[in-house]
Amino acid sequence: MHMTDLMTGREDLTEVNLIVFVGGFSNSDVLGSAKGWAGAFLYNPKAKAALDNFYKSEDTLSLGVCNGCQLMMELGLVYQDMDMSSHPKMHHNGSGKFESTFISINIPKNNSVMLTSYEGSQLGVWVAHGEGRFDLKAHKNYHIAATYTYPEYPGNPNDSDFSTAALCSKDGRHLAIMPHIERSLFPWNWGYYPRHRKSDEVGPWIEAFVNARTWVSARAK
């Protein structure tokens, strides 16, 4: 589904239970592209109404990856009851450069629909971003769903506060994550995969999408 579908009213998300704001330079091949993408929602009445109604529904999930994560921060979609001045923001990496690497993240105890079953896991995943630093005012205000295993650069590739790699909403339905779990679904996608697991048809990250499908199926009308 393209933004033009929402902006023209061809689509209104009423038949969608899971929306994924995709990674990559979704709006343009420049830093800060999520701001332009956010503007397409904020200043187009049809697109804004579709998004607002989607988030008002209680049987919907959302996932933002990389550029999509930036979009969710720009629009305040993770903590919608929070003033935008307090909502988490994304900033340029502390290194001042684009970071692309295969890295390790930890999944703590969390209530994310997509990640709760990973509690206690440490998994490899790709990152590729220039603006991936989570700016969090206070740890207690947010629900951290994933952290970089090593708190210092380059283990924390963007110098995010509290080594944050992902945030989820209070009810666990909405997840914003910088690492590209969707690019790490198969063993051959990984920079390193355990030798004794090379026969796996899919990698561990597919479970996040299975969890989403199970959740939606249980609530389908």
**CA–CA separation, 131 and 208 (whole Å):** 24
**CA–CA separation, 95 and 110 (whole Å):** 29
Sign of CA dihedral 19, 24, 26, 27: positive
State the catalytic residue, choosing from 129, 139, 180, 196.
180
Of the candidates 64, 67, 76, 65, the residue with the CA atom closest to the CA atom of residue 27: 67
Helix (H, G, I), strand (E, B) or coil at 127: strand
**CA–CA separation, 66 and 99 (whole Å):** 12
State phi, psi for 56 to the nearest 5 degrees.
-75, -25
Helices (H) and strands (E) in the chain, counts: 5, 9
DSSP collapsed to 3 states, 157-192:
CCCCHHHEEEEECCCCCEEEECCEHHHCCCHHHCCC
State the catalytic residue, choosing from 11, 58, 66, 152.
66
State the catalytic residue, choosing from 11, 74, 99, 182.
182
Determine whether 69 is an active site residue. no
Determine whether 168 is an active site residue. no
* Cross-strand partners of 91: 133
What is the DSSP-derived secondary structure letter of residue 83?
A: -
State phi, psi for 96 to the nearest 5 degrees.
75, 15
Determine whether 66 is an active site residue. yes
Q: Give the residue numbers annotated as catalytic, written as ranges.
A: 66, 180, 182
